[in-house]
Amino acid sequence: MINLQGFGPQLLEGVMTTLQLAAVSLIFGVIIGLAAAMAKLSPIRWLARGVDVVTNLLRGLPELLTILILYYGVQNLFNAIFEDYVEVDGFAAGVAALSLVFGSYASETFRGAFLAIPAGQIEAAKSFGMSPFLIFRRIQLPQVWRYALPGLGNLWLVLIKDTSLVSVVGLQELMRKTQIATSVTKSPFTFYSVAAAIFIGLTLISTFVLLWLEKRSRRGVRMG
């Protein structure tokens, strides 16, 4: 049995923080990605091009650099505005950075999903007098979810791994807790192996859940 030398509870706390960070970033990332995809498909040319440029820039930046820019950039901005020293919360900075990165990639996934919906369905809905919002809620959104789910699943797996980058701003997630345990016990192989096993376990669990969701999303859909 692996001897964690009393750091088991700390690692468990790190796992919970990692999951919270990933879950909150997923929620905001999906919202950002969906909104960005709709903007890219907008007939308003400047809006579509502007959002496309922003998402391309975010995809081009390393995730670590995005986290550092948001953390220190926002902190410098607040300190310039307010007289008192303001320290940005590491969790909030991590959520903001990971949500933007996730959303920028998800925007292309959602965009492809919107384009995969047969145009005839939208035209038929309009002929029945359905409002744009009703068309989106009743026709587009259910199918977008089904088409986008595999791509979003892959992005979720990447997101779980990217949470480890937020340790650079002091957030006490799994990797930060592992680094602390390593520095105290001088047993890097043991604790990094445990951290690796935890990430692999989270990935396997996520994979099974995603497969179940994909199977469920295809129920009642005629193939071919």
Residue spans per domain, the chain: 8-218
Q: Yes or no: say if 162 and 170 are a contact pair by the CB < 8 Å rule.
A: no
pLDDT for the residue numbered 1 = 59
How far is it, in rounded angstroms, from Cα 70 to Cα 55?
16
Structure tokens belonging to residue 124: 């038929």
Residue 143 CB burial class (10 angstroms; 0-12, 13-18, ≥19): middle
Query: Cβ distance 167 to 63 under 8 Å?
Result: no
Q: Name 160's Cβ contacts closer than 8 Å, sequence gap at least 6.
A: 18, 22, 199, 202, 203, 206
Q: How confident is the model at residue 77 (pLDDT cuts 50, 70, 90)?
A: confident
- Of the candidates 212, 116, 99, the one whose C-alpha atom is nearest the C-alpha of residue 166 is 99
Q: Read off the pLDDT of residues 93-146 as tens digits, 9 standing for 90 and up.
A: 999 999 999 999 999 999 999 999 998 998 998 898 888 889 988 889 889 999
Going from the C-alpha of 30 to that of each of 23, 99, 105, 145, 149, the distances in angstroms are 11, 8, 10, 11, 11
User: What pTM was estimated for this model as a whole?
Assistant: 0.91
pLDDT at residue 223 tops 90: no
Q: How many CB atoms lie within 10 A of CB 29?
A: 26
The average pLDDT across 8-20 equals 94
**What is the average pLDDT across 218-224?**
63
Topology annotation, domain 8-218 = MetI-like fold (1.10.3720)
Say which residue the tokens 């384009």 belong to: 115
Q: Residue 162, CB half-sphere, CA atoms under 13 Å: how many?
A: 26
The span from the CA of 33 to the CA of 39, in Å, is: 10
Mean pLDDT over 172-193 rounds to 91
* pLDDT tens-digit readout, 24-68: 999 999 999 999 999 999 999 999 999 999 999 999 999 999 999
Q: What pLDDT, on the 0 to 100 scale, is given for residue 220?
A: 60
